[in-house]
Amino acid sequence: MSNYRKTPEAIARLTPEQYRVTQQAATERPFDNLYNDNKAAGLYVDIVSGEPLFTSLDKFESSCGWPSFTRPLHNEQVIEKHDIGHGMIRTEVRSRDGDSHLGHVFPDGPRESGGLRYCINSASLRFVPLDQLESEGYGEYRKVFDTHQQESAS
């Protein structure tokens, strides 16, 4: 059982934009958000529950205006739901433990990485830089980055 969860205290700490996105399934403005252009190494976690969702290793430039990832860190942490709102048929993605609206997944990502694009609202995320993983309680995820560096070096 995970220790990540949605609490009234976590909801109370959200900014109006974070609340609108995570709790009311809104979408933030494209290109005008915190992490679209973030190139730093680290972990992206749910702003509500803190559950780890994506890493910078899977982030790519999609030119859509929102942070885009080829895959979640753990598939079971990101729940897919059928979304027919706004006159479109899409697949919404939500965090499992926080039940936060994150964004949508589309089949137009890089083919060499599986072909998916997880288009995620910055307002639903908190970024934990690589050098702060341990101090922020995410030290166990350092190995993901270390393994990637070893694979890249060989």
Q: Tell me which of 119, 123, 125, 128 is the catalytic residue.
A: 119
Strand bridging mode 42-46 / 52-55 = antiparallel
Is 119 marked active-site? Answer: yes
Return the closest-CA partner of residue 64 out of 41, 32, 40, 95. 32
Q: Give the pLDDT score at 1.
A: 45
What is each CA distance from 62 to 118, 130, 139, 142, in whole angstroms?
Answer: 10, 23, 29, 26
For residue 138 the two structure tokens come to 């995410």
Chosen CATH of 8-153 out of 2.170.150.20, 1.20.1270.10, 2.40.110.10, 3.10.310.30: 2.170.150.20
pLDDT of residue 153: 62
Residue 149, pLDDT score = 66
Consecutive 10-residue runs of the chain (154 residues): their mean pLDDT?
85 98 96 96 97 97 96 95 73 96 95 96 98 96 83 63
